[in-house]
Structures are given as C-alpha cells and as structure tokens.
Amino acid sequence: MTNSRPESRSPGMARRTFLQNLSAKLPGLIAFFALAKPGKAGADEPGGYDPEQHNYAMGIDIHKCIGCGRCADACKSENNVPRDEHFFRSWVERYVVTTDREAHVDSPNGGIDGFPALPDDTDILRSFFVPKLCNHCVKAPCVQVCPVGATFLSRDGVVLVDESYCVGCRYCIQACPYGARYLHPEKQVADKCTFCYHRLREGLLPACVEVCPTQARVFGEIGHKSSPLHRFLRFNEITQLKPYLNTEPKVYYAGADGEVI
C-alpha cells in the first residue's frame, strides 16, 4: 500500500509513462496496424451530458463500513447480477486480525446476508469490513488484454464492457488482479461493476452508494473541487489496492492497512 494521492506525480513519472507507452505501442507498431479501434464512448450525447467533463471515482471509508452487505445486495438487484454466490460486481470482505498478526478473511455470499458472529476469542486483535468492486483502473490490464476491444475505458473514466462485442475469452478476468470480473453465466460475456453507468448519466449515484446506511461509500469526480470525493481524498490517509502493479486504481480506501489486498 502506498499513500499516494491521485494527483501526485513522482518526478520519474514522465519517463516511466513514456517507456510504458512505448512498450504498449511497440507490438502494434511492429505489426503495422493502423487499425486501432476508435473510442466507443461515441459522439456527444443528447441531453447535455458531456463525458469529457467527468472523471468518476469512488472512495470507501473502512471505519464506517458495518458489513451489512446492503451495497452488494443493491448491486445485484440494480444490475441483474445472478444471485448465485459466485458472481459479484461488488462484495464485502471481513478481515479478522489475530494477535499473531495474521489476517483471516471471509466473505460468505459476498456479505449480502451479513456475517456470522465471531467466536468469543481473546486472540482477536481487530476486525473490519472492506467493500470491494472494480477499481476502474486508469491503466487497466483488463482493457489492455481484451483482444477485440470489448473492454474499454470510457471518456468519463469508467471501465466498461461492450456486451455485443465480447467474445467471452476471459482473458480480462485473468488479467484483473482484483478478482473484480466474472463471466455472466447466461450471456457468456465478461461482466463487472460499471459504477452504475446507466444511473450516472441520469445524474444519479451508483446503487451501492445510495443504499449505504453509514455513507461508507463516497462517489465523486476527480479534479472537481465541489465533489464529495475531493474532501474525502483531502482529509483521509488514502490507500489503493495492489499499487505496485501500477494499474492506478480509482477506488480509494481510507483506513485500510497492509493486510487488505
């Protein structure tokens, strides 16, 4: 875990970005492909919605999450995620750290039905809940590996899957370091959290954010001073998941320590 704020850029960054860009483009150049797929976000939308004006992100406050699982439940209802306990766009994990500093994690049915009570055990140091979802990585490995460009980064900073394009190869599921994706059993396409993209465009909040009784989830925009996310990022120690993989996740955790991966 690092404490890097999203805005911060280290001095070595420019060179690194350049090298990364180069290494990302090289295979394409070698193969002489000028066929890169145009962005799919499309032309400017009706109704005055301008995707260029947005860069969505989420904050999650570990101290506030009580593990009620309502977010995971609301997500399934909102997005027609199969009710089976092995398909989730968003789920809640419980971490129990014992005095030997070992972390034990569980997430029965994604936390939707709550969690079984912990045994009366003096060995328990602390326990907390961590809601998880797609991190909408800026440098998303899932976007990089998709052979047909069905997984793409929209202009408003949300990673989406085009159902009508996905060939169901599951490369993206393998490439996501966070277990955020699953293969939709009926549609046979990759599926994952979209930040409730259909709601965002109506000016609504994601379902999980809306139902959270403790406001552990904060939704907002990067770079907008008026966004609640801005305050959240400013006044909390922020961590991201697996930052060493350089995926630049856009789900920011407050109060999550090194055990959370």
Partner 1 sequence: MTPILPLLLLTIPGAEGYIYPNEYELHWSIHIVLYPYLTGLVAGAFILASLEKVFNVKVLQPIYRLALITSLAFLIAAPLPLMAHLGHPERSPEMFLTPHTSSAMAMFGFVYAWYLMVVLLLEIWFDYRKDIVIWSRDKKGLIKYVYKVLTLGVTDISERAIAFDQKACKFITVLGIPSAFLLHGYVGFIFGSVKANPWWSSVLMPIVFLFSAIVSGIALVLLVYVITSLVRWRRISMPCLNKLAELLLYAMIIDLSLEMLDFIHRLYESEESIEILSKMISSRLFISLIVTQLLIGSALPVLTLIFARFGRLPDEMRRMFYFIAAILVQVGIFATRWNVVIGGQLFSKSLRGLTTYKLEFFGIEGLLAAVILLLLPVLFLWILAKLLPPWVPEDQPHDTGHRTREVDLPPGSLPSSGTV
User: Interface residues with partner 1 (CB under 8 A)?
Assistant: 24-25, 27-28, 31, 33, 35-37, 85-88, 91, 93-94, 96, 98, 100, 102-108, 110, 116, 118-119, 121, 123, 132, 141, 143-149, 165-171, 173-183, 187-189, 245, 261
CB 178 to ligand SF4: min, Å:
4
Q: Which residues, listed in sequence order, are joined to residue 183 by a DSSP beta bridge?
A: 190
Q: With respect to ligand SF4, which residue has the nearer C-beta, 28 or 168?
A: 168
**Angle, CA of 243, 220 and 211, to the nearest 5°:** 100
Q: Is 115 helix (H, G, I), strand (E, B) or coil?
A: coil
Question: Which stretch in 16-24, 103-111, 134-142, 225-233 sits in contact with ligand SF4 by CB under 6 A?
Answer: 134-142
Contact partners, residue 241, CB within 8 Å, separation at least 6: 135, 177, 178, 249, 251, 253, 260, 261
Please pick, from the candidates 150, 229, 233, 256, the single residue that binds ligand SF4 as defined by CB under 6 A. 150
Binding at 28: pick from partner 1, ligand SF4, none (beta carbon under 5-8 Å per type): partner 1
Binding at 188: pick from partner 1, ligand SF4, none (beta carbon under 5-8 Å per type): partner 1
Please pick, from the candidates 19, 22, 167, 261, the single residue that binds ligand SF4 as defined by CB under 6 A. 167
Q: Per CB under 6 A, does 81 bind ligand SF4?
A: no
CB-CB contact of 251 with 136 (8 Å)? yes
Q: Which region holds residue 139: left if phi is over 0, alpha if psi is between -120 and 50, else beta?
A: beta
CB 34 to ligand SF4: min, Å:
21
Distance of CA 242 to the CA centre of its chain: 12
CB 118 to ligand SF4: min, Å:
29
Binding at 41: pick from ligand SF4, partner 1, none (beta carbon under 5-8 Å per type): none
CB 42 to partner 1: min, Å:
16
| Radius of gyration for the alpha carbons in the chain, expressed in angstroms and rounded | 19
Q: Per CB under 6 A, does 178 bind ligand SF4?
A: yes
* Rounded-to-5 percentages of helix, strand, coil across the chain: 25, 20, 55
Alpha-carbon distance of 56 to 230, in angstroms, equals: 11
